[in-house]
Chain A
Amino acid sequence: MSDWFEQIPIDIPLGGGRRTLHWKRIGLAAAAVAVVIVLILFRPWFIVGPGEVGVVLRLGKLHRVVQPGFHYRFPPPLETVFVPNVLLLRRIEVGFRSNPRSPSAEPVTIPEESIMLTGDENIIVAKTVVQYKIANPVHYLFNVKDVENTLKDIAEAAQRQVIGDFPIEAALTERRDQLQAQIQEIIEKISSEYQMGIQIEGVNLQDTHPPEAVEPAFAEVFNAREDQARVEREAEGYENKEVPRAEGEARKLLQEAEAYKAERIAKAQGEVERFHALLQAYRAAPEVTRRRLYLETLEKALKGKPKVIVDSEENVLKFMNLSPAIPLPAPLLPPDAAEEEGHP
């Protein structure tokens, strides 16, 4: 406004100083210049970029919301325009700050935001990323002052509330998803209470770990778990080795028994068959067969063995003692003949 007034004195001497020229031409030129200046100063248009929306206030009151493109407007103070980007995925970091200029650089941890108590009174280090978008640009602009900081406060409170409601194991491993979902739920509830006009796109509870001072104790638990698994695995290995071996052994015992059975019966049958055959012969001619068998046996038994034949039995004992060349009688049954004792 004030700029525009200062411009006027410069234009007027130009037009008024040269009276010899026709008023009409001067007037036209001055009008043209004035129009250009007015256009430049007031810019009665605005451009809404991709992803943005234009929120136009006319005399302070919400008048219209326009989509990307070129739009006319009344110059301020009649109309003022806000162009928030509603497609941009915004991000809030709790517990740490990454460097926006070099995303690969190690983020800086903020201890007072990331160290907190769990429900079982342990201490944990936890960091959260909240991603959000503007869902309602009018609410976003006019309902809450400093949406970003508000959301950060909410996220911090939500993170602590949820972590404080679970034991440390839940936050460290098993229940991360559940915790994340609860954090998101709380953030959504509060931000919708405030009518901030944003939509939470995601909450990511990341990098939860025990504090450095107790890290070895947690590592020890991990080791113990591994040990537990190892010992159990070893026992299972023992089982896998011993049971099949025993099964093999058992099968072997049964097979041996079966073999014994087959052998035993076959032998019995063989002997019975011999007996049967001899019996047939014996029945046909009992006396001859009896004698024949006896003589055959004697023949076999006496063949090749030292023999002394005495005429009468009276001198036998005397004779035995006098002949050193003749060895003392061996036991009547040799040891390997004992087996035969089992016969019925």
Chain B
Amino acid sequence: MKAKPVVTVMGLIAVVLLILLGSSVFVVTEMEQAVITQFGRPVRVIAGESPFADPEALRKSLAAYEQSSGTHVGLSFGAGLYFKVPFLQKVEYFEDRILVFDSQPATIMTGDQKRLIVDNFSRWYIVNPLLFRQTVENIPTALNRLDNIIRSDLRNTLGENEFIEIIRSSDQMLESGIEIPEQKQVRIKTGRTRIMERVTQLAREKAKQFGIYVIDVRIKRADPPEQNMEAIYKNMTAERNRIAQRYRAFGERQATYIKSETDRKVKTLLAEAERDARIIKGNADAEAARTYAQGYIKEVTGSPPARIEGFESDPEFYGYLRSLDALEAALDAQTTLILSTKNELLRQLNSARFE
């Protein structure tokens, strides 16, 4: 503890120098932007280099501020080591990253008087740290302002559009080839994506005054309120029942098609077969008749075809033969014959005996 005064003084000087150094340099990281103030008066802005930064607009805005306030405000870009006047100047840091604003779900009324619970979110970026510092100071206040802006823009814009425009974004469902009930085949005029673009533009314009760039506003959820669910479920059930009935009816129809076609095929087949059979039989009868009348050419293997004569060759002899056959057929077992001696058979006998 008995250090020489020189050493003590040296040490003190070193500590003072260190503190001075610490107070005059500061680091801005890649995630930050900064505003340097001197007794509350802004002297310098260190802006970020995010993809959403707009150096030109910032430069213009600072120039305008210089004009109106008469003080010079320096402007630098990007992360790194920076110097300031120790003790007199103060550094305030701001985010250089995209920030989120997530709203509370709100009930809104659509253009066709339907209720929707809408939950939206928004991404935003501090484009003008100085303006941001001056108008909203910090992120919680900024979120509050954004909530006011977006909520009213959303409410107004959704209120101008019909329910279905908020649900759907395009007409691709109509071209999807899936059957949709007639009353739901509505072509949309705007659609969710364009509605959101509209809200984004409105909010972006209003948030400018806070040094905030609104990147987008998006609907996260848009659901019917709980008390409407029952009605929707009823509709869904009715629609499903209708579809089920149609499936069944289609089945019956198809079955009838198939069965009647089958019956037709069967009847046609049988009728045609009967017709063909008749033709064959008729031809057979005709050929048989021809054969009876005219005879036929007999094919015998190994010898020349022989001509067999038909009944026509001697009709008289045929008639004779046929009557003999008929006679034979007519006289069956039960026939009692009363023969006269004048009969041919007996006459022969008689003549044989007495002549």
Q: Which residues of A contact B (CB under 8 A)?
A: 13, 16, 57, 59-62, 77, 80, 112-113, 115-123, 141-146, 149-150, 153-154, 156-157, 160-161, 164-167, 169-170, 174-175, 190, 193-195, 210-211, 213-214, 216-218, 220-221, 223-225, 227-232, 234-236, 238-239, 242-243, 245-247, 249-251, 253-254, 256-258, 260-262, 264-265, 267-269, 271-273, 275-276, 278-279, 282, 290, 293-295, 297-298, 300-302, 304-313, 316, 319-320, 326-327, 329-330, 332-334, 337, 340, 343-344
Q: Which residues of B contact A (CB under 8 A)?
A: 1, 3, 27-32, 50-51, 78-81, 95-100, 102, 121, 123, 164, 167-170, 172-173, 176, 178, 180-181, 184, 192-193, 215-216, 218-224, 229, 232-233, 235-237, 239-241, 243-248, 250-252, 254-259, 261-263, 265-266, 269-270, 272-274, 276-281, 283-285, 287-289, 291-293, 295-296, 298, 308-311, 313-314, 317-318, 320-322, 324-342, 344-346
Q: Which residues of A contact B1 (CB under 8 A)?
A: 13
A57 adjacent to B100 (CB under 8 Å): no
A145-B97, A232-B255, A253-B274 given as contacts; is B262 within 8 A of A122 (CB)? no
B317 adjacent to A279 (CB under 8 Å): yes
B29 adjacent to A57 (CB under 8 Å): yes
The answer for the CA separation of A150 and B278 in the assembled complex, in Å, is: 87
The answer for the CA separation of A25 and B120 in the assembled complex, in Å, is: 71
The answer for the CA separation of A295 and B344 in the assembled complex, in Å, is: 9
B236 adjacent to A214 (CB under 8 Å): yes
B273 adjacent to A153 (CB under 8 Å): no
A-B contact count (CB 8 A): 380
A141-B30, A142-B30, A230-B251 given as contacts; is B173 within 8 A of A170 (CB)? yes
B280 adjacent to A165 (CB under 8 Å): no
A-B contact pairs, 20 of them (CB 8 A): A57-B79, A60-B29, A61-B30, A113-B221, A120-B181, A156-B220, A157-B219, A161-B192, A169-B178, A214-B233, A231-B255, A243-B269, A251-B273, A268-B289, A269-B291, A273-B298, A276-B309, A294-B344, A310-B341, A332-B330
Residue in contact with B314 in the complex, picked from A194, A216, A279, CB distance below 8 Å: A279
A143 adjacent to B219 (CB under 8 Å): no
Closest Cβ–Cβ distance, residue A114 to chain B (whole Å): 10
Q: Which residues of A contact B337 (CB under 8 A)?
A: 302, 305-308
A60 adjacent to B168 (CB under 8 Å): no
Q: Beyond A59-B81, A113-B221: 11 further Cβ-contacts under 8 Å?
A: A80-B29, A153-B100, A157-B121, A157-B219, A160-B222, A217-B240, A232-B251, A261-B284, A269-B291, A272-B295, A302-B345
Q: Which residues of A contact B254 (CB under 8 A)?
A: 228, 231-232, 235
Q: Which residues of A contact B283 (CB under 8 A)?
A: 261
Which residue from chain B places its CB closest to the CB of A144 in the assembled complex? Answer: B98
Closest Cβ–Cβ distance, residue A100 to chain B (whole Å): 23
Q: Which residues of B contact A118 (CB under 8 A)?
A: 167
A294 adjacent to B169 (CB under 8 Å): no
A235 adjacent to B311 (CB under 8 Å): no
Which residue from chain B places its CB closest to the CB of A211 in the assembled complex? Answer: B233
Q: Which residues of B contact A267 (CB under 8 A)?
A: 288
B334 adjacent to A60 (CB under 8 Å): no
